[in-house]
Amino acid sequence: MTSANQVKKNGNIRAKSQVKILTAARTEFVLQGYRGATVQSIADRAEMPKANILYYFKNKENIYHAVLEHTLEMWDEGIGDIEADKGPKVAIEKFIEAKVRMSFKHPEASKIYAMEIIQGAPHLKDYARTYQRQWVREKAKLFQQWIDNGEMANVDPVHLIFLIWSATQHYADFETQILTIMNRADFEEDDVQQVITFLCDIILRGCGLIK
């Protein structure tokens, strides 16, 4: 076996192990919180010895950082952006749909983010201060232009973004409560579609974009 192949094979093992660890860790961090999730519990869930976990990530905080980063990346990619070119109605519709679908598909991603923010965002202050604040300002400006052009009702653009965020992520973060109240074991595609329809209906009408 050549040295190049050796590296590749080892790289594969490394990559696979890391994904396995991150997946297990994400679940543990959601279920138990940062402090409550132990390296041992992550190891058990990943079906690896504890020492291997620490071999790949050195320490617990590094695991958490990797989970956060991995999660935010996946989330942002899955949502995409608000598209300006087709007007406010399509833009808001598409954005709501993407966020609702992600909430049902990857509730853990939203949950881990939510817990981080609730606890005061100790690892994400910079993320909000730079990336997110900029994003909100950009989109708010876009909404304001549509409002000024008379294309939608005069509603506060920043709070509109908060409303869409909260209403959509609620189905991920409060999954447990919603299932219990609706007396259901799982969600199905029909439920997802119904939520999309409901939220688009209310919010678009609320923005004066449908009658």
Partner DNA sequence: GTCTATATGCTGATAGAC
Partner DNA sequence: GTCTATCAGCATATAGAC
**Closer residue to DNA, CB minimum distance, 13 or 19:** 13
Dihedral sign of CA atoms 80, 82, 85, 86 in order:
positive
Can you tell me the distance from the alpha carbon of 90 to that of 105, in angstroms, rounded to the nearest whole number? 22
Can you tell me the distance from the alpha carbon of 37 to that of 22, in angstroms, rounded to the nearest whole number? 13
Nearest distance in Å: CB 12, a copy of itself:
34
Report the partner that residue 149 touches, choosing among DNA, a copy of itself, none (CB closer than 5 to 8 A by kind). Answer: none
Can you tell me the distance from the alpha carbon of 199 to that of 167, in angstroms, rounded to the nearest whole number? 8
What Rg value do the Cα atoms of the chain yield, rounded? Answer: 21
Torsion (CA) 156, 160, 161, 163 in degrees, nearest 10:
140
Vertex 157, ends 152 and 160: CA angle to 5°? 95
- 120: amino acid identity, one letter: G
Report the partner that residue 132 touches, choosing among DNA, a copy of itself, none (CB closer than 5 to 8 A by kind). Answer: a copy of itself
Q: Which stretch binds DNA (CB under 7 A): 40-48, 86-94, 152-160, 163-171?
A: 40-48
Asked if 141 is part of the footprint of a copy of itself (rule: CB under 8 A), the reply reads: no
Report the partner that residue 61 touches, choosing among DNA, a copy of itself, none (CB closer than 5 to 8 A by kind). Answer: DNA
Report the partner that residue 49 touches, choosing among a copy of itself, DNA, none (CB closer than 5 to 8 A by kind). Answer: DNA
Chain positions contacting a copy of itself, by CB under 8 A: 30-36, 111, 114-115, 117-121, 125, 128-129, 132-133, 136, 153, 155-156, 158-160, 162-163, 165-167, 169-171, 173-174, 176-178, 180-183, 194-195, 198-199, 201-203, 205-208
